[in-house]
């Protein structure tokens, strides 16, 4: 199927749904999941230096028979590589691992206090060289994004953060909309921490969808890019099946009430 695309602030586009690859390191499991994704029409894959699977992604897309420009590949600079020179050196290694001469999206993985300014400068240069089509950040709060205005020549195209119905972050959402930064939702299923909420169950029944599909649909309707992770080929397929229905006003109002600031991953909130 054709996954809708979202326009970025530089005129490029990003598929609204991708596949997150965090924690998938076993080659057999990785290949089964990614092959299922490719067969079902996924073209957007989200890796990172610290996931230790860039090389698996490189092998997978190379053997897929797809052309490089048919895919949207993301990686992220890990914290220990944040120095200006380390960013560049480590990123060249990432390109080698992924068997490509560019990525579609390169992110800084976390707002490392002392080094994020220099690391962003390196990303701007990498983009100017054509080695990254789009650049952005991950786990940045409004405060970190506001600080970037003092030193960034380029506004990030994307901010990838934990985002789901139980962590709706309205202030960050509004800030990114005002500043033309696309939000990308990781852990959109909240790591399965709350899979029995009666409101979501009711909406799922009403639309004849699964609990997970309701959570993913919420992110899509907010205008976010969403990157669920699954190693089950059946789930990989299920996660794609969210574009044939829409919430009504009551659904939206009910889901809005579910926000409880539930963080299931590391939090950047107290990072200066």
135-25-2-77 Cα dihedral, nearest 10 degrees: 0
DSSP state of 3: P
Q: Are 42 and 236 in contact (CB under 8 A)?
A: yes
* Position 210 in a domain: yes
* Position 154 in a domain: yes
pLDDT of residue 266: 82
- Among the listed residues 42, 51, 140, 211, the single catalytic one is 51
| Residue 84 known to be catalytic | no
* Position 47 in a domain: yes
* Position 52 in a domain: yes
Q: Are 196 and 46 in contact (CB under 8 A)?
A: no
Q: Is 124 helix (H, G, I), strand (E, B) or coil?
A: helix
**Domain encompassing residue 209:** 5-256
* Position 272 in a domain: no
* Position 267 in a domain: no
Residue 57 and residue 253: Cα distance in Å, rounded?
A: 39
Alpha-carbon distances, residue 179 vs 116, 156, 176, 194 (angstroms)? 19, 9, 5, 32
Domains contained in the chain, number: 1
pLDDT of residue 265: 85
What is the CATH number for 59?
A: 3.20.20.100
pLDDT of residue 193: 86
* Position 269 in a domain: no
Residue 68 and residue 129: Cα distance in Å, rounded?
A: 18
pLDDT of residue 223: 97
Q: What is the pTM of this model?
A: 0.96
* Position 265 in a domain: no
Q: What is the pLDDT along the chain (272 residues), one digit of tens a residue?
A: 789 999 999 999 999 999 999 989 999 999 999 999 999 999 999 999 999 999 999 999 999 999 999 999 999 999 999 999 999 999 999 999 999 999 999 999 999 999 999 999 999 999 999 999 999 999 999 999 999 999 999 999 999 999 999 999 999 999 999 999 999 999 999 977 888 999 999 999 999 999 999 999 999 999 999 999 988 999 999 999 999 999 999 999 999 999 999 998 888 999 99
Residue 145 and residue 152: Cα distance in Å, rounded?
A: 10
């Amino acid at each position: 199927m054709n996954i809708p695309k979202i326009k970025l602030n530089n005129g490029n586009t990003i598929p609204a749904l991708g596949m997150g690859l965090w924690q998938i390191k076993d080659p057999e499991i990785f290949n089964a999941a990614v092959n299922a994704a490719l067969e079902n029409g996924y073209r957007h894959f989200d890796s990172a230096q610290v996931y230790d699977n860039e090389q698996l992604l490189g092998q997978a897309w190379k053997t897929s028979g797809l052309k490089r420009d048919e895919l949207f590949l993301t990686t992220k600079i890990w914290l220990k590589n944040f120095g200006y020179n380390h960013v560049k050196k480590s990123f060249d290694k990432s390109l080698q691992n992924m068997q490509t001469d560019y990525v579609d999206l390169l992110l800084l993985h976390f707002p490392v206090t002392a080094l994020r300014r220099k690391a962003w400068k390196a990303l701007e240069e990498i983009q100017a060289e054509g080695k990254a089509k789009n650049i952005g950040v991950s786990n940045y709060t409004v405060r970190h994004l506001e600080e970037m205005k003092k030193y960034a020549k380029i506004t990030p195209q994307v901010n990838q953060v934990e985002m789901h119905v139980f962590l709706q972050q309205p202030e960050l959402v509004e800030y990114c909309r005002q500043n033309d930064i696309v939000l990308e939702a990781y852990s959109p299923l909240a790591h399965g921490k709350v899979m029995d909420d009666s409101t979501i169950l009711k909406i799922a029944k009403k639309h004849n969808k699964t609990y997970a599909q309701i959570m993913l649909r919420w992110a899509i309707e907010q205008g976010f890019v969403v990157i669920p992770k699954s190693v089950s080929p059946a789930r990989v397929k299920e996660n794609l099946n969210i574009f044939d229905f829409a919430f009504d006003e009551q659904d939206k109002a009910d889901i809005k009430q579910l926000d409880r600031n539930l963080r299931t991953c590391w939090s950047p909130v107290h990072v200066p």
